[in-house]
Amino acid sequence: MKYILASVFLIFGASQSKTQTLTQMQSASNGAETQAAYSSYIVNNNNFVLPTYAHGGDVAGNPYFSKDWASGTLTTVDNHVFGEGLVFMYSKVDGRLFFKETDSSVVMQADAAKILSFTLNTDKPHTFVRTDAFTKEYSGNFYEVLVRGEKKYSLLKLTTAEFEENTTAAASNVMTVTSSAGSFSDKVKYYICKDGQLTQVSLKKKSFQSTIASDKDKAEKYFQEHSGSFNEDAAIGLITEINAQVE
Bridge partners, residue 182, by sequence: 59, 165
State the angle between helix axes of 216-225 and 232-244 in degrees (0 to 180), rounded to the nearest 10.
120
Mean pLDDT of 217-242: 94
Could you report the per-residue pLDDT of 28-81, keeping only the tens digit for each? 334 455 445 545 666 764 445 667 776 666 778 889 999 999 999 999 999 999
Bridge partners, residue 120, by sequence: 72, 126
Question: Is the predicted pLDDT of residue 24 greater than 60, yes or no?
Answer: no
CB 180 within 8 A of CB 58: yes
Cα 95 from Cα 97, distance rounded (Å): 7
Helix (H) / strand (E) element for 161: namely strand 154-165
pLDDT attached to residue 10: 33
Residue in 126, 124, 158 with CA at minimum distance from that of residue 143: 158
Torsion sign (Cα): 34, 36, 38, 42 = positive
Mean pLDDT of 205-222: 94
Which positions ≥6 away from 59 have C-beta within 8 Å? Answer: 1, 2, 3, 163, 180, 181, 182, 183, 184
C-alpha to C-alpha distances, 107 to 44, 86, 160, 246, nearest whole angstrom: 11, 11, 22, 45
Domain spans in the chain, listed from the N-terminal domain onward: 18-201
Bridge partners, residue 127, by sequence: 119
